[in-house]
């Protein structure tokens, strides 16, 4: 297992990103299209002050799962931390393209757990937004917070039931009949909740991004980095078909924990098209805690047109 500690290059990158954007929060997770994501390259290091590794992936095991982990694919997963910097509020699993094909059940688990992670990050963002000042809080974001909470509870209940019954049935041949039917029903309910949550949060994310856009291309360029290539020393880069999709910024520092992900422009653009909302493959929320710097103004203008690709 390879554990990468804090490196100067990572800290420099984070500092550059922070300096370039004034951004406190940039969150995204892959949702509907998680099954299409292939991890071709992951470069990872923890960024907390203690130098304790937070995650490492692909080269080894990201996070030692509990004994009754829902699936073997958890070895390629990493936690999403809450604002306290220590509580794991969710997890995201990425599938190794070199690994065995995932089962349908595994993919459902991936989808739901990724959603759980995204909602947790979204909630953190919304809570932070609310704390800033009531007068500045975006009502739509707060309403989304409430919707997320309701959905989290519903999905949490459903997943607890699904995982629990799978365990009961696995452990005992004499387990009560009907468990599998209950598990299937609850899984379907969770899927419906997630689908509705996707629509709600995607719309909020679009509005939020239009209000305070953060462009990965612009950010990386401002940081003096090549936006077209994975950055050596950055946290986690995810590529699909060799296209750079997202960069996960992971940290255990309370000050940095909310900086979850910066996404490539090409993935944000589809979200701006109302006709594609129903099939939106990702959720993006950018709740900037600082003032956007003027050099991102071009990006903001490009984004607000919402009709074509953003060009930096």
Helices 179-211 and 297-305, axial angle in degrees (round to 10):
120
**Choices 18-26, 42-50, 153-161, 197-205; region in contact with another protein by CB under 8 A:** 153-161
The only residue of 50, 100, 103, 150 in contact with another protein, by rule CB under 8 A: 150
Cα distance between residue 62 and residue 16, in whole Å = 26
Helices assigned H by DSSP within 31-138:
104-132
> How buried is 215 (Cβ within 10 angstroms: 0-12 exposed, 13-18 middle, 19+ buried)?
buried
DSSP-based three-state secondary structure for 94: coil
Cα distance between residue 21 and residue 294, in whole Å = 9
**Choices 27-35, 39-47, 155-163, 213-221; region in contact with another protein by CB under 8 A:** 155-163
Please tell me whether residue 164 binds another protein under the rule CB under 8 A. Answer: yes
Helices and strands of the chain, counted as H and E runs: 7, 7
Contact 291, 300 (CB under 8 A): no
Q: Which of residues 49-68 bind another protein (CB under 8 A)?
A: 66-68
Which residue in the block uniquely carries the two structure tokens 């929320």?
Answer: 285
Site size for another protein (CB under 8 A): 35
The only residue of 167, 203, 211, 221 in contact with another protein, by rule CB under 8 A: 167
Give the residue with the Cβ less far from another protein, 61 or 167.
Answer: 167
Please tell me whether residue 149 binds another protein under the rule CB under 8 A. Answer: yes
Cα distance between residue 33 and residue 170, in whole Å = 30
**Choices 3-11, 21-29, 94-102, 146-154; region in contact with another protein by CB under 8 A:** 146-154
Q: Which of residues 170-199 bind another protein (CB under 8 A)?
A: 172, 176, 182, 186
Rg for the chain, CA atoms, rounded: 19
Give the residue with the Cβ less far from another protein, 38 or 163.
Answer: 163
Contact 98, 84 (CB under 8 A): no
The only residue of 7, 9, 157, 253 in contact with another protein, by rule CB under 8 A: 157
* Residue 11 C-beta: closest distance to another protein, Å: 27
Please tell me whether residue 25 binds another protein under the rule CB under 8 A. Answer: no
Identify each DSSP E strand in the chain by its residue range: 27-30, 77-81, 88-93, 236-240, 243-248, 261-263, 282-285
Please tell me whether residue 72 binds another protein under the rule CB under 8 A. Answer: no
Binding mask 224-253 for another protein (x = CB under 8 A): ------------------------------
DSSP-based three-state secondary structure for 82: coil
Please tell me whether residue 87 binds another protein under the rule CB under 8 A. Answer: yes
Contact 270, 280 (CB under 8 A): yes
* Residue 89 C-beta: closest distance to another protein, Å: 7
**Choices 36-44, 100-108, 133-141, 166-174; region in contact with another protein by CB under 8 A:** 166-174
* Residue 161 C-beta: closest distance to another protein, Å: 4
List residues near another protein by CB under 8 A: 66-68, 70, 82-84, 87, 89, 116, 123, 127, 148-150, 152-165, 167-168, 172, 176, 182, 186
């Amino acid at each position: 297992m390879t554990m990468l500690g804090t490196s100067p290059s990572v800290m420099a990158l984070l500092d550059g990103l922070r300096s370039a954007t004034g951004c406190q929060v940039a969150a995204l997770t892959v949702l509907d299209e998680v099954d299409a994501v292939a991890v071709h390259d992951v470069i990872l290091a923890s960024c907390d002050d203690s130098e304790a590794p937070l995650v490492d992936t692909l080269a080894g095991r990201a996070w030692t799962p509990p004994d009754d982990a829902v699936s073997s694919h958890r070895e390629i997963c990493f936690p999403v931390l809450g604002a306290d910097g220590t509580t794991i509020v969710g997890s995201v699993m990425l599938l190794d393209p070199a690994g065995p094909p995932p089962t349908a059940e595994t993919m459902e688990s991936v989808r739901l757990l990724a959603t759980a992670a995204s909602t947790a990050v979204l909630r953190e963002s919304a809570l932070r937004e609310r704390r800033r000042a009531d007068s500045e809080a975006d009502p739509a974001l707060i309403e989304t917070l409430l919707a997320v909470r309701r959905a989290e509870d519903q999905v949490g209940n459903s997943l607890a039931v699904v995982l629990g019954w799978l365990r009961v049935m696995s452990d005992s041949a004499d387990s009560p009949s009907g468990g599998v039917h209950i598990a299937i029903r609850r899984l379907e309910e969770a899927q419906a909740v997630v689908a509705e949550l996707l629509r709600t949060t995607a719309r909020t994310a679009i509005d939020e991004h239009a209000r305070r856009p953060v462009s990965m291309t612009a950010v990386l360029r401002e940081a003096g980095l090549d936006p077209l290539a994975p950055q050596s020393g950055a946290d986690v880069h995810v590529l699909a078909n060799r296209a750079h999709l997202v960069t996960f910024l992971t940290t255990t520092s309370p000050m940095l924990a909310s900086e979850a992900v910066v996404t490539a422009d090409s993935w944000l653009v589809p979200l701006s098209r109302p006709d594609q909302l129903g099939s939106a493959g990702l959720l993006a929320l950018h709740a900037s805690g600082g003032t956007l710097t003027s050099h991102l103004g071009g990006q903001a203008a490009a984004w607000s047109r919402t009709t074509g690709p953003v060009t930096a």
